[in-house]
Amino acid sequence: MFNNFNEFCEDYGIKRLIMVPRSPQQNGMVERKNRSILNVTKNILKTKKMPKEFWAETVDYTIYFSNRYPTKNLNDMTSQEAWSGRKPNVSHLKVFESISYVDVHDQVGTKLHDKSKKLIFVGCDKKSK
């Protein structure tokens, strides 16, 4: 099976770099990206005075956002554009921890009941538009 996988990689031009297990320092590019994500995450949490319990949502948003802005390494294309061939739509992006409103369509209530609920934005739902 291992030989089949090697052949598959060769056929599709995939470069395989074998590394020693449990030695992340061998992959400097990935480690640098991880450090950048962590730095942005810490900066957001500190700037917005958010509790550290929101680290997962902040990391998720940082990665989501970073895949949608251009980089020099990709000749000013976004990561998502390089992968999919299409420019990403960024019209839905909001400032992290900004005040947002969500529609609440209550069937019960009067005309004067609120039709939205005030929330704090902490990330994008990947399962909806």
Residues 41/58, Cβ–Cβ less than 8 Å: yes
88 SS3 class: coil
Strand partners, 100: 119
Domain boundaries, the chain: 2-88
- The DSSP bridge partners found for residue 117 are 102
Q: Please give, one letter per residue, the 3-state secondary structure of 11-78.
A: HCCCCCCCCCCCCHHHCHHHHHHHHHHHHHHHHHHHHCCCCHHHHHHHHHHHHHHHCCCCEHHHCCEC
Average pLDDT over residues 123-128: 68
Q: Which residue, among 75, 56, 78, 57, has the nearest Cα to 67 in the 3D structure?
A: 78
Is this prediction's pTM over 0.75? no
- Taking only the tens place, the pLDDT of each residue in 7-62 is 899 999 998 888 788 776 777 777 888 899 999 999 988 988 889 998 999 999 89
Q: How many Cα atoms within 13 Å fall on the side-chain side of residue 93? A: 13
47-79 pLDDT, tens digit each: 888 899 989 999 998 998 888 888 888 888 998
